[in-house]
A and B are shown apart, each in its own frame.
Chain A
Amino acid sequence: MTKTLNNKAWFLVLPVFLIVAFSAVLPLMTVVNYSVQDTFGNNQFFWNGVGWFQELLDPTTDLGGRFFDSLWRTLLFSAIILLIEVPLGILVALSMPREGWTVALSLVLMALPLLIPWNVVGTIWQVFARGDIGLLGWLVNHLGIDYNYTGDPLDAWITIVVMDVWHWTSLVALLCYAGLKSIPDAYYQAARIDGASRWAVFRTIQLPKMRRVLLIAVLLRFMDSFMIYTEPFVLTGGGPGNATTFLSIDLVKLALGQFDLGKAAAMSLVYNLIILAICWVFYTIMTNVDAKNERAEA
């Protein structure tokens, strides 16, 4: 569909522009402001230049070490999440029933975890994984495995990963299912005539058709796991020790716990720049894929 050039459309966009600028640009300016100043308390600030940024990006300092530790933890978490949730989501999407009342039932049940408030997700797993009153913790302990997510870093990680898989795999599955549904019947008939194997059908028909939705799924899952806060905060509080202190948790500790404004602001900006860069990469790929699809259909 060709769109007409009309700069008056800006009047329609203006309200959104203003409210998002109020919610995003204005606060970010305060952050920039803090990030270049130091304070003696009492609301007295003085110029500190790029001092905070130098400290933040130097892994040998306290602040830098802490920042890079959280950053690697968060990246590792995102990588694990993607490696588990994407294949599992595809598998579930392929296993979706094809017709009848079970389709609607599966859709509704699958979507349920997505709609639970994030702190309640944390609470559910906090209870479910406890050794004394939780079904999961009790079962695992009675199988003879020593499991305690509040004491052992590895157990804490496993619990958080399982929780996130529980919470978000359905998103990947639902997106893939939407992609699969758009495949015309004729494709499958052609495959059947050619005597294609199940794997060949997946490789050459289903996977290419899912590419677009998978891209969105990976983008959303990466972003949301990269800024995860509430669920691990409720479940482990970042512990034991600092084992599950992800970037967001660290940042909130620094900003609202210690009121270390300069350091927190510098960390916020770097964090935001990373997000912005990744977002841009995905957006470029996405628009390219869209353009290619449109050309293919035209």
Chain B
Amino acid sequence: MTDSVAIRSSDVKATAAPLTANKAVAGPRVNGRVVVMTLYLLFLMLPIYWLVIMSLKTNTEITSGLTLWPQNLTFDNYVTIFTDRSWYSGYINSLTYVLINTVLSIAFALPAAYAFSRYRFLGDKHLFFWLLTNRMAPPAVFALPFFNLYSAIGLFDTPWAVALAHCLFNVPLAVWILEGFMSGVPREIDETAAIDGYSFPRFFIKIFMPLIASGVGVAAFFCFMFSWVELLLARTLTTVNAKPIAATMTRTVSASGMDWGLLAAAGVLTIIPGALVIWFVRNYIAKGFALGRV
């Protein structure tokens, strides 16, 4: 765990430092780098651009031929979504189970991550590995048993069913990420606090939590994200009352006379939550996706 500390402390100067050296080593290839980066970003942005402008076109314009930007700019598709209950309730449902799941995952994961980062105990390595396997488990395997389980306990078609089901991969994810951040906090702080007479809960909330605040933020962001992007379990566990926006979208696709503009607008609106917060977590994206192991 020492190396994660080392990496973090070097982060600050590393952004600025190697480049002078690197430029000299790389020599005239600096232009090659710009070309690669530009092409790559262009490749990433084109499909998104296409979705966005499509959501601003009328359906006749979409189907009547290819236009690179909207000829008759229209916000009708967005108006439809925000005024039709069957549409916007999808967003509310999704947000409800995502938020429940995020709170649950973080609350459960905090003490466990602390235990993993500070203590050795019977079966700790096996438990840690077992958590990892659940992050890797294919949701398809769990779709049917979850369907039976949540029907049996009467949670089927409620946000709680999806929120609990997503704990399968989000709790392990949160434990792994938080453990990575907590291991970066020196043990001496725990010991000093104990000597100063702090009880464990008071130490944890007053002293420890502020130290790992960014870790909690990153873990919460990734729980939010992975719950938000998942569709298979969310669709299996809901029918009407808790139907997520993603499922609402798939149904509209099969409706007669495909409403492309509306579909695109709904898609754009699902990208927005990620796009809004991404700026704040930009330096932690790699760490979060790598289960706190970078």
Contact = CB atoms under 8 A, between A and B. Distances in A.
Interface in B38-74: 40-41, 43-48, 50-51, 54, 62-63, 66
A109 B45 contact: yes
B149 A178 contact: no
A275 interface: yes
B132 A103 contact: no
Contacts of A75: none
Contacts of B167: 19-20, 23
A12 B37 contact: no
Contacts of A120: 246, 249, 267, 270-271
B18 A98 contact: yes
Contacts of A22: 164
B47 A166 contact: yes
Contacts, number: 344
For A13, A15, A192, A223, the residue with the greatest tally of chain B CB atoms inside 10 Å of its CB is A13
Nearest to A294: B2
A65 interface: no
A70 B250 CA distance: 24
Given A110-B41, A264-B144, A279-B133, A20 B171 contact: yes
Contacts of A184: 10, 14, 17-18
B143 interface: yes
Nearest to B264: A127
Interface string B130-143: 11111011111111
B29 interface: yes
B242 interface: no
B108 interface: yes
Nearest to B269: A120
Contact of B294 (A3, A132, A135, A175): A175
B133 A276 contact: yes
B15 A271 contact: no
B63 A133 contact: yes
A112 interface: yes
A71 interface: no
Contacts of B17: 184-185
Contacts of B168: 20, 23-24
B148 interface: yes
Interface in A84-116: 91-92, 94-99, 103-104, 106-116
Given A27-B149, A297-B3, A106 B121 contact: no
Nearest to A223: B136
A255 B144 contact: yes
B115 A179 contact: no
Contact of B144 (A178, A181, A234, A261): A261
A271 B121 contact: no
Contact of A1 (B50, B111, B187, B270): B187
Contact of B274 (A112, A134, A181, A298): A112
Contacts of B13: 185
A28 interface: yes
B44 A1 contact: no
Interface string A172-185: 00110111111111
B294 A213 contact: yes
B244 to A, nearest CB: 9
Interface string A26-38: 1110110000000
Main secondary structure of the interface of B (DSSP, over half): helix
A201 B25 contact: yes
Nearest to A28: B145
A63 B19 CA distance: 57
A297 B2 contact: yes
A253 B46 CA distance: 33
Contact of B231 (A7, A98, A119, A135): A119
Interface in B260-294: 260, 263-264, 267, 270-271, 274-275, 278-279, 282-283, 285-287, 289-291, 293-294
Given A182-B10, A272-B138, A99 B230 contact: no
B141 A116 contact: no
B267 A227 contact: no
Contacts of B267: 120, 123-124
B79 interface: no
B156 interface: no
Nearest to A296: B3
18 contacts: A3-B118, A12-B112, A20-B167, A31-B145, A111-B278, A116-B271, A117-B231, A132-B63, A133-B54, A175-B294, A178-B7, A181-B10, A191-B21, A216-B294, A229-B140, A234-B250, A251-B140, A286-B293
Interface of A: 1, 3-10, 12-13, 15-17, 19-20, 22-24, 26-28, 30-31, 91-92, 94-99, 103-104, 106-120, 123-125, 127-128, 132-136, 138, 166, 169-171, 174-175, 177-185, 188-189, 191-192, 196, 198, 201, 212-213, 216-217, 220, 223, 226-227, 229-230, 234, 247-249, 251-252, 255-256, 261, 264-265, 268, 271-272, 275-276, 279-280, 283, 286, 290, 293-294, 297-298
